[in-house]
Amino acid sequence: MMWSEKYRPKNFLDLIGNEESRKLFVEWFTNWKKGTRPILLVGPPGIGKTTLANLAAKQFGYDLISLNASDVRNKKNIHEILSPVLGNQTVLGTPMIFIDEVDGVHGRADYGGTEAIIKILKEPTVPIVLAANTDSSDKMKSIKKVVKTIEMKPLSPKLLRLCLNRILQLEGVKIDSDSLAKLVTKSRGDIRSMINFTQARATGFDPPTEKSFESLDIEEGINAFYKANSTVEARSILYSLRIDPREKINAFYSSIITSKISADDMQKFLQVISEADMLYGKIMKTQQWRLLRYLDAILLGLYKKDIPIRYSKYNLSWPLLNRLRWDGTKIKSIIGSLAKTMHVSKSTFSTLYFPYLLYCIKNKKIDLEFDESLEEIVQKEVALIK
């Protein structure tokens, strides 16, 4: 089990740091009544904003309705989700709304969402908690006018170390003080990434000392994933590898397809890649970015201990790539000029005419004169005909 889940705070006291902010938050909940201004938690990732909202729902007995940036892009969506909650509380128990990453809707991606949220924030009938990483954008400034803002700051390295020492003590794991200090400073106040990184370190995987997983590039990430000693370790690496999802899927695909693995493994892995690809396609089509959280769980199916897969940028072998790059340009120019002569499109010529033409050249039924460099390419192509 991941430590960050195992040691997730179970009440307000289990959290660490930002004591004054936590106090203000709990006071707000204690005194909440219809019409009380909603609350906005502002602070960097990994310091407990979402946890705080979840704990509040649990401790004060609310039914939590969570939304994120992708849900609040357009007006229609917001009304569809929130109107039943705001309109009739008795049917839905005692709801509480939590909108995470409210600062995540940028410029043209906002189809009236911010405006609709502000309207709801002005007349709250249920407790509404918003969370954002920053509050400096114009949109956030207009949101801030109708909410009470609580700033949450990153934790000091000493508090992080205090928390980490506690976890290590409970896990019975020992890490030397230098490594511990490195783990603490590299997390830059992000408690979640610090715990994930420490778990990976403690379970035997030795990450590059100068970098955290979050700053690993795709090559180091994929290689570390396949060098992992356990699924837990592989998961930790995968979850921390924060790169564009399309790039992530492509990197796995090119690495797998160029590796020498058994046909069964290849089939299994390509099936996983296809599932990941379908999920990403669905996300892009429907813009339901909340589904992205399932991508890593699917990609974890690509892990198998000691499998000889290493990162490869290109999904074709070098000789083939070279041929495509150099010979391909010349073949294109031959096809271009011959297609014109035959009064057909380049595509028709290359699909239907060109293979036939090569057969004719091979069987000496036709004799065409090409430039010296093109002649060489044509001969290469002829030689490839079986």
181 vs 385, beta carbon nearer other proteins: 181
Shortest distance in whole angstroms from residue 214 CB to other proteins:
11
5 vs 178, beta carbon nearer other proteins: 178
The site for other proteins (CB under 8 A) is made up of 12-13, 16-20, 22-23, 26-27, 30, 59-61, 136, 152-159, 162-163, 165-166, 181, 184-185, 188-189
Task: Measure the CA dihedral 216/183/292/111, to 10°.
Answer: -100
73 vs 186, beta carbon nearer other proteins: 186
96 vs 335, beta carbon nearer other proteins: 96
- How far apart, in whole angstroms, are the C-alpha atoms of residue 222 and residue 211? 15
Residue 273: burial class (beta carbons within 10 Å; 0-12, 13-18, 19+): buried
27 vs 206, beta carbon nearer other proteins: 27
- How far apart, in whole angstroms, are the C-alpha atoms of residue 322 and residue 313? 14
Shortest distance in whole angstroms from residue 152 CB to other proteins:
8
23 vs 332, beta carbon nearer other proteins: 23
Backbone angles phi, psi at 26, to 5 degrees: -65, -40
Shortest distance in whole angstroms from residue 236 CB to other proteins:
21
Shortest distance in whole angstroms from residue 171 CB to other proteins:
14
Cβ-based neighbours of 338, under 8 Å, separated by 6 or more? 349, 353, 354, 357
Name the token pair of 68: 């994120």
156 vs 231, beta carbon nearer other proteins: 156
Residue 369: which of 332, 338, 326, 336 has the closest Cα? 338
- How far apart, in whole angstroms, are the C-alpha atoms of residue 140 and residue 109? 15
CA distances to 116, 117, 311 from 108, in Å: 15, 16, 36
Shortest distance in whole angstroms from residue 179 CB to other proteins:
14
User: What amino acid is encoded at 124 in this protein?
Assistant: P
Residue 39: which of 179, 187, 195, 146 has the closest Cα? 146
Cβ–Cβ < 8 Å for 139, 110:
yes
Tokens 């290359």: give the residue: 350
Q: Which residues pair with 112 in a beta bridge?
A: 74
Burial letters 19-37, b for 16+ CB under 10 A, else e: eebbebbbebbeebeeeee
161 vs 235, beta carbon nearer other proteins: 161
Shortest distance in whole angstroms from residue 228 CB to other proteins:
27
Shortest distance in whole angstroms from residue 207 CB to other proteins:
18
Shortest distance in whole angstroms from residue 60 CB to other proteins:
6
